[in-house]
Amino acid sequence: MSSRQGLIREQLYIYRYYIALAAAATFYCGRLYRQFFTVPKKFRHIPAIPYYDLWKSLAGNEPLLKRTQRLVFPILSKGNGIYLNKFPFDWTVYVANPILVKTVLYKPEFATKADAVFAYFPEESAQTHMFGQDNLLASNGDSWKRQRKIMNPAFHRSMPVGVFTNLLPQVFQVTEKADNNTISASKLSKRLTLDAIGKAAFDFNFGSLEDENSVWVKKYELTFKGFMDVIPIIYPKLDYIYRAISKGRRERYNAAFELTKLLDNLADEKRKSLMEKRSTASDNRRQSDKDLLTLMLEAEMAGEGTWSKKELRHNMALFFLAGHDTTSHALAHCLYELAVNPDIQEKARKEAMNVLGTELIDVSPTLEDCKNFPYIDMIIKESLRMHAPFNEISVRVPHNDVELGGVLIPKDTMVNVDIEALHYNPDIWKNPEQFDPERFAEGGEHYSHEGVTWVPFSGGSRICIGINFSMMEQRVALAMLLRKYTWKLPESSKHKNGIITDLPLNFAPDSLEVQFTKRY
């Protein structure tokens, strides 16, 4: 009898164990569900995109515009152009109402940027080593003002048109060596803008147009690929395990540190050179011809502020990566839009020839010439409306409860701008999926809008400091290419009815090829 009771008791223990285990699992699953799928109580007055629907869209590589039209547009009217989204892991309020976007960009209560991007990565990560958490993009308050004070003169004085024009003959050579003069617009733009940013920012030649497989080009490509690795983005603290088991990951990680060392060496050499020239007063170059690093160090020496070695490196890396990739993809999209809109391409060509002459020889535009390309400027702006490099600005965080368009935003909430929803909203833009540069003509549609409706470079006091640099580079490249070539998509292109992206981002895919035909 006792053995039977013991058996029953043992079975009861096992039963209770499984009950407890099931209860714990239920509790944990419920907690995970609430964490990921349930909108927190403080946000339930704001219309939200279902978390499952968002990640289903991302997993299926649904194009950004289609996702915006399907998930965002239906709920915008419910929240006065404001909605809630958990992307990637934090609940964020997104704004797509032009009046409210202006408030977010210009009002002091939204001036503080969140540290979400750079503070997310651990100290030993390549991202932290390269960009830090104290760069111009991420800093706030006195730190931001001090850095901006040093950088402003450099970006206002430097407009290295000569650097850009000197690179275009190499672009012509690369194009004409390609099979059937057909080449990836994305790869061509990357090679041009990498060499341009190297020379204009640091007076360093990456040699990408001469040899796309050169050492530093490969280091840069590995670094960028490393920043796109999924595991370190989702689980950054597990990156050391990933590096231990993956040779490719180690190569990408190490490339970032080698590239960072290059930036440190360039800064040290430039500082030493400037100190020597300062003692001899031997640098007689025009301000507009100097590279950005030189101008920033000169501003420091003139008493505009001081850099720590790390701060200088972090900002050099930030401008290098942001300046290269955003401009290269913007230029690639311009080439695409002109390829599929031959009438617009021809009108732009006539403008370039009116300014630079009709003689069938290569002509390099001057800084003054570049002020006389209004239609090419309109093309660039319309392309940036349709193909903004990013879909968000840097996250803002109000430190007090604030009302935005009649909607209460609790303090310490992350607030952002949905650029795609703003740029493609049919209530703001007529036929938003149509490429129409005339929107940006004087007195055109864009200038009749209330609030802010075009933000590829953000806006307000925190607007991208390199906006004029990027626009000038695209202006020069397009003007010289338009005089030299006509171009179209190859017959076999899969992009004839719109760009098919490789990632759920706005970056131009490598498969985006164009076919050039020489005019002379």
Q: What is the largest CA-CA distance in the chain?
A: 112
Q: Beta strands of 96-204 (E only): which ranges?
A: 182-184
Cα separation, 391 vs 484, in Å, equals: 33
What's the rounded Cα separation, in Å, for the pair 29 and 35? Answer: 10
Query: What are the φ and ψ backbone dihedral angles of 346, each rounded to 5 degrees?
Result: -70, -40
- Distance from C-alpha of 418 to C-alpha of 396, rounded to nearest angstrom: 13
Please give the span between the terminal C-alpha atoms of the chain, in angstroms, as a whole number: 106
SS3 at position 488: strand
> What would the 3-class secondary structure string for 73-121 be?
HHHHHHHCCEEEEECCCCEEEEECCHHHHHHHHHCHHHCCECCCCCCCC
Cα(146)–Cα(141) distance, integer angstroms: 9
Instruction: Name the residue type at position 413.
Output: T
Rounded to 5 degrees, what are φ and ψ at 39? -70, 130
By CB atoms closer than 10 A (0-12, 13-18, 19+), residue 405 is middle
Dihedral of the alpha carbons of 36, 37, 42, 45, in degrees to the nearest 10: 150
Give the Cα separation of 281 and 416 in Å (integer): 48
User: CB-based contacts of 517: which residues, under 8 Å, 6+ apart?
Assistant: 181, 485, 486, 487
Phi, psi of 387 (to 5 degrees): -135, 55
Q: How far is CA 330 from CA 18, 108, 142, 206, 226, in A?
A: 58, 30, 32, 20, 22
370 is in an annotated binding site: no
Going from the C-alpha of 347 to that of each of 232, 343, 353, 358, 371, the distances in angstroms are 47, 6, 10, 14, 17
CA distance 291 to 201: 5
- CA dihedral over 352, 356, 357, 359, signed as positive or negative: negative
- Return the closest-CA partner of residue 116 out of 88, 93, 95, 144: 88
The Cα 417–Cα 490 span in angstroms is 36
Give binding residues for heme as ranges: 464
